[in-house]
Structure 1
Amino acid sequence: MSSNSATEALLNCPSIPLLDGTAHPAIGFGTYKVGFLPASASSAVSGASKADDKDERSAKDCVLDALKVGYRFLECAEFYGNEAQVGAAIKESGIPRKDLFLCSKVWTTTIEKGPEAIKAQFEKTLQDLGTDYLDLYLVHWPVPNHHVQAYKTLEELQKAGKIKGIGVSNYAVQDIQELIDSPDIDQVPLVNQIEINPFLYRKNTIQYCQDKGIVLQSYRSLRDGKAMDHPTLVEIANKYQKSVAQILGRWCVQKGFVYVPKSVKTERMIENGQVFDFELAPDDMNTLDGLTTDDNLQAFLGLYRKCVNRDTSKDGTMDGVKMDITMD
């Protein structure tokens, strides 16, 4: 596929309907660790990046390239520390706001500080991105004793017309249930952004969300580049004459998840987007479904317990952390 054809494929990518009828692009460009490394994003917490993402290019340059090759959904966050540069890229691109789908997330420290801090951060995000509304705004982590209030604040911002849709990120089944059981909450989250790939395919959690009509946004779809030499993936990639990244991306979109790859290299941006011109056979999908191990699920559980209090006054403790969640 030529670069022009790849751009056309991205510009005309399929969409996934959200509960409110919004058409969510099936693929987007992730901006985490693009041009900026957050202070607490250690390899112990977030997974070490491959050399592909250790690049001195600015977030502005990377995002501008992503927009040029056809990405129109940008996945952003307060925590990523680069929203002003993302906004600069959007401005320079000249792409009309109506043609973009912008999502951001509010971080744990702001969530802990309460509604006024969330509203102030939201306004900063709008200013940094150079827009007067967001298509989606998410609670980044289910901070114990604070995340329900945070979500209610997002509902208020939505009612004020500044957010089209709201959702959550890194929520376990029990977190979502706590949220929707609250008498103060009016609506089910439109999305739950969680790590999803064949090595962390949490079927029961995914099924729970889908039963509620919650669309899954997949981050770490490419496993931080750490599975590119996996023999099963290499074998399947050779069969389809595709790259391993394209096999992982195709698995994601074929499952109906929003696929959010990230790279700082233009050729990889193009490659990652070439997932709509082929289909994986059922046997190969089943093979990929079976790559999740108990060790991977245990690692997820440890990360969840570590991160819900991350960067808050309770950081490093299990204060308020749900110890019994649906792991798979």
Structure 2
Amino acid sequence: MSSSAIEGPSLSLRDGTVHPAIGFGTYKVGFVPASATAAATESAPQRSARECVKDALDVGYRLLECAEFYGNEEQVGLAIQDAGVNRKDLFLVSKVWTTTIEKGPDAVAAQLEKTLRDLQTDYLDLYLIHWPVPQHHVEAYKKLIELKAAGKIKNVGVSNYAWEDYLELKEAGITDLPAVNQIEINPFLYRKKTIQKFQEEGVVMQSYRSLRDGKQMENHVLLDVASHYPNKTVAQILGRWCIQKGFVYIPKSVKKSRMIENAQVFDFVLSEQDMTRLDALTTTDNLNAFQDLYRKCVNRDTSKDGTMEGVKMDITLD
């Protein structure tokens, strides 16, 4: 049997559902999708997703962040069985990919059934639209609401939605609005205005790339802030920033020691001065890079891949 869950706070979704404040991300864990950024240059994973997720459950993670696109949900399901964690103690999240969204509502329903089989469960705690595919994401979202009514999903959410994509749902007359929006959030991409708009609507923000893929661990501001907190690493500073802002923090690692390190963010508090310094790390260049990625990815892997067909060219960046 696995160890007890990580002791940390939780958040409440709009219907009162308890949502863990920390989760384990499974992207590129044991498998690198073909169209993933830099996939061609990445070496084959050294450990299986089954091994890595079993470690994460043993460490005490109880929220598992999965996706059709990640290509490893069957392995995640096996890891859950290996760990022996009761289903009621887990918070399972998955996302439906662009290709399925483009195919239509029936394909979305079929994919959910596959995800449920792979994860060896009869319901998801949260199911997300992975990207707001132009002309298709609203109908896909409506299908998720139907699947929620059927008991196969406890809560419905979105991922990578700009404010304007959310408004599109509202303009379609949808009243069962997203419980969650999962976007990249870290001090280097802190879109304060966008985040505030969603939070004012009662949408909980999940952060991916919370640790900026480990690419800023030598940043001088992060190193200086970390020096103020004995025995705390740069990764833990980034994680604590996320928690203190009220976001769901979803780190990932294939190393058990890092999984433990990443979770040790609940026993200290960043000063207001240090939080302000971290907030200031977002640059105009980073916001522009985000915009480029958004434009590239909403049609990714669909029949419109590589085109700007239907892509919103004017979205709220900051």
1:121-200 pair list within 5 angstroms = 121-183=111-173, 185-200=174-189
1:209 aligns with 2:204: no
Looking at structure 2, the residues matched to 274 and 216 of structure 1 have their Cα atoms a distance apart, in angstroms, of 21
1:295 aligns with 2:290: no
Aligned to 1:72: 62
Structure 2 unaligned segments of length 5 or more: list them.
Answer: none
RMSD: 1.6
How far off is 1:43 after superposition? 2.2
Are the aligned partners of 1:55 and 1:264 in contact in 2 as well (CA < 8 Å)? Answer: no
1:109 aligns with 2:99: yes
How far off is 1:55 after superposition? 4.1
Q: Indicate which of 226, 235, 238 corresponds to 1:237.
A: 226
Aligned to 1:13: 8
Aligned to 1:26: 21
TM superposition score normalised by structure 2: 0.97
Aligned to 1:240, the other structure's residue is in SS state coil
Letter matched to residue 29 of structure 1: F
Are the aligned partners of 2:162 and 2:315 in contact in 1 as well (CA < 8 Å)? Answer: yes
Aligned to 1:189, the other structure's residue is in SS state coil
How far off is 1:147 after superposition? 0.3
Are the aligned partners of 1:309 and 1:317 in contact in 2 as well (CA < 8 Å)? Answer: yes
Aligned to 1:226: 215
Q: Indicate which of 225, 240, 247 corresponds to 1:250.
A: 240
Aligned to 2:36: 41
> Which structure is higher in RCO with an 8 Å CA cutoff and minimum separation 6?
1
Aligned to 2:300: 310
Aligned to 1:163, the other structure's residue is in SS state coil
Letter matched to residue 271 of structure 1: E
Looking at structure 2, the residues matched to 268 and 164 of structure 1 have their Cα atoms a distance apart, in angstroms, of 31
Are the aligned partners of 1:26 and 1:258 in contact in 2 as well (CA < 8 Å)? Answer: yes
Looking at structure 2, the residues matched to 35 and 246 of structure 1 have their Cα atoms a distance apart, in angstroms, of 24
Letter matched to residue 26 of structure 2: T
How far off is 1:13 after superposition? 1.7
How far off is 1:186 after superposition? 2.7
Looking at structure 2, the residues matched to 163 and 121 of structure 1 have their Cα atoms a distance apart, in angstroms, of 13
Runs of 4+ residues over 3 Å off in structure 1: none
1:214-240, CA deviations, whole angstroms, 9 ceiling, x for partnerless residues?
Answer: 000000000000000001101111110
Are the aligned partners of 1:87 and 1:129 in contact in 2 as well (CA < 8 Å)? Answer: yes
Looking at structure 1, the residues matched to 38 and 235 of structure 2 have their Cα atoms a distance apart, in angstroms, of 21
Looking at structure 2, the residues matched to 265 and 39 of structure 1 have their Cα atoms a distance apart, in angstroms, of 23
Looking at structure 2, the residues matched to 149 and 55 of structure 1 have their Cα atoms a distance apart, in angstroms, of 36
1:149-194, CA deviations, whole angstroms, 9 ceiling, x for partnerless residues?
Answer: 00000000000011000000000000000112212x2311000000
Aligned to 2:188, the other structure's residue is in SS state coil
Looking at structure 1, the residues matched to 175 and 219 of structure 2 have their Cα atoms a distance apart, in angstroms, of 44
Structure 1 unaligned segments of length 5 or more: list them.
Answer: none
Looking at structure 2, the residues matched to 186 and 141 of structure 1 have their Cα atoms a distance apart, in angstroms, of 20
Aligned to 1:193, the other structure's residue is in SS state strand
1:135-155, CA deviations, whole angstroms, 9 ceiling, x for partnerless residues?
Answer: 000000000000000000000
TM superposition score normalised by structure 1: 0.94
Looking at structure 2, the residues matched to 100 and 262 of structure 1 have their Cα atoms a distance apart, in angstroms, of 17
Aligned to 1:133, the other structure's residue is in SS state coil
Are the aligned partners of 2:24 and 2:56 in contact in 1 as well (CA < 8 Å)? Answer: yes
How far off is 1:11 after superposition? 2.7
1:26-47, CA deviations, whole angstroms, 9 ceiling, x for partnerless residues?
Answer: 00000000000001002299xx
The percent identity for this pair of structures is 69
